[in-house]
Amino acid sequence: MPEHILFLTGRLAEKSLHQVLHAMQPTSFTYTVHQLGLNVAGLMTADMIRRRLREIHDAGRVIVPGRCRGDLEALSAEYGVPFERGPEELKDLPQFFGRARAKTDLSQYDVRIFAEIVDAPRMQIDAVLDAARRLRDWGADVIDLGCLPETPFPHLEQCVHALHAEGHRVSVDSIADDELLRGGQAGADFLLSLKEDTLWIAQEVAAVPVIIPTHPGDMASLHRAMQALREQGKPFIADPILDPIHFGFADSLVRYHALRRAFPDVEIMMGTGNLSELTDADTGGMHALLFGIISELGIRNVLTTQVSPHAHRAISEADAARRLMHAAHRSHSLPRDFGDALLALHERDPFPYTRDEIAELAAAIKDPSFRVQVSAAGIHVYNREGLKTGCDPFEFFPMLNLENDSSHAFYMGVELARAQIAWQLGKRYVQDQALAWGCATETAVQDTATYCAPGTTLGRVRGSQA
């Protein structure tokens, strides 16, 4: 027998709620809509429900507006049925029920992130440790100490020991044989990057070597190095090197594909910096695409950098992308509807209400408070005096008449600025709430535990031919 659900709402949203539920044509539940006698559903509170709700119509569950405040657990105990917050926008009810049937688990991933501290030789040990803690918080699994050409690193060993003491796994990344050897002897877990003629270092230390071609694109040398390490019984990670756009990018993708086809079980690394750091474009989409390729090819190790100002969220984006692609792969699904962490600039459904629907809501308003909504047609501001639609916040100034109310003027200025940004970019706007930027802002760190932070100085980009 289908579950019966009671939906609580206000006068203004009652008609829209009926329309949305009717359009859903639910088969898994029946429903009753109960209007509690208040205008705005979003102002509903648990105490108000307790005072006004007399019966629950044989409901097995009660859905209240997403912005309803108060203790729903107490209501559940009092009425004997679960009370649950629905979505903040009632137009999202179909997605709400779809996600409720199969909630996404983004706690799992199968890609190890190496995060490089590119200027480690110039940093004191305490600064290296501070940087490593931040990198780990943002998603890094291995702290990569990036050595610099012709720059002494006298405290390399102390850095490795100090990082291990705090529980980090450590890699040392250098083009100098002596630094790689010193790093390995100090106990580094990985060495980046050995070539065919420097494999002797791997025989001297326990660190797992990451091996690259002797010359750019020279896969034969990479294959020989792999074979030599296999004969020695030494574990390794192979990296054909991802090249920058117009300097071999497409060919380098082919090399990764060919390596995986020829060696189905080999551990592979891809460094993303040659694309994210050396392309003037937003990096979130780049990481989504790269981690889609990484997922398809079964690549389990990624080296990230976040040194260019426009790439300063690279680690948090990589962390979000590896979780998204793992969940999609595990579900045999397209990478859609698994979270919004990488939808920083745009959203799948930015405008839940049309101009006509907003006009209908505005016509029912009987109080002086201003409401702000956004549709594809622009920004809409309304109260009992009427509705105005525009695209620029300054268009609303005469209507607002706030010259003698500085606090309200400030509030409306903030809300209209948010609304304008949302309309221009195609983002979801909800009055009194900050815009959502996925993993692209520090606010997202606090809200979603997806971590991000700015980089430092621009350093060497690994394997670059540019």
> Which range, 76-80, 336-340, 453-457, has the best average confidence (pLDDT)?
76-80
Span 349-370, average pLDDT: 90
Print the SS3 string covering 261-319.
Answer: HHCCCCCEEEECHHHHCCCCCCHHHHHHHHHHHHHHHCCCEEEECCCCHHHCCHHHHHH
Q: Which of 383, 377, 462 is nearest to 423 (CA)?
A: 377
| 276 burial via Cβ count (<10 Å: 0-12, 13-18, 19+) | buried
449 occurs within a structural domain: no
341 occurs within a structural domain: no
> Of 77, 101, 125, which one is at a domain's C-terminal end?
101
Same domain, yes or no: 307 and 418: no
Cα–Cα dist 153/180, whole Å = 11
Same domain, yes or no: 162 and 216: yes
**Residues 237-278: pLDDT tens digits?**
999 999 999 999 999 999 999 999 999 999 999 999 999 999
Span 380-409, average pLDDT: 92
> Of 101, 124, 145, which one is at a domain's C-terminal end?
101
Q: Domain total for the chain?
A: 3
Q: What is the mean pLDDT of the chain?
A: 90
Same domain, yes or no: 58 and 124: no
Same domain, yes or no: 180 and 318: yes
Q: Which residue is it, tokens 């390596």?
A: 259
Q: Which residues contact 114 (CB under 8 A, 6 or more apart)?
A: 140, 141, 142, 144, 171, 190, 192, 269, 301, 302, 303, 304
Same domain, yes or no: 125 and 225: yes
pLDDT over threshold 60, residue 449: no
342 occurs within a structural domain: no
51 occurs within a structural domain: yes
Span 356-365, average pLDDT: 90
386 occurs within a structural domain: yes
64 occurs within a structural domain: yes
Same domain, yes or no: 208 and 301: yes
Same domain, yes or no: 50 and 132: no
Q: Which residues contact 353 (CB under 8 A, 6 or more apart)?
A: 91, 361, 373, 375
211 occurs within a structural domain: yes
448 occurs within a structural domain: no
Same domain, yes or no: 264 and 132: yes
**Residues 109-141: pLDDT tens digits?**
999 999 999 999 999 999 999 999 999 999 999
Same domain, yes or no: 117 and 230: yes
**Residues 145-174: pLDDT tens digits?**
999 999 999 999 999 999 999 999 999 999
Q: Which domain holds residue 42?
A: 3-101
Give the CA angle between residues 250, 209, 159 to the nearest 5°: 110
Q: Domain with 71 in it: what CATH number?
A: 3.40.50
Q: Which of 451, 445, 436 is nearest to 88 (CA)?
A: 436
Q: Domain with 226 in it: what CATH number?
A: 3.20.20.20
Q: In what order do the strands lie in the sheet with 269-271?
A: 237-238, 208-211, 190-194, 169-173, 142-146, 112-117, 301-304, 269-271
Same domain, yes or no: 257 and 400: no
Same domain, yes or no: 315 and 170: yes
Same domain, yes or no: 118 and 177: yes
pLDDT over threshold 90, residue 333: no
* H-helix or E-strand spanning residue 8: strand 3-9
Q: Which of 111, 81, 53, 78 is nearest to 319 (CA)?
A: 111
The pLDDT score that the predictor gives to residue 446 is 40
DSSP 8-state symbol, 45: B
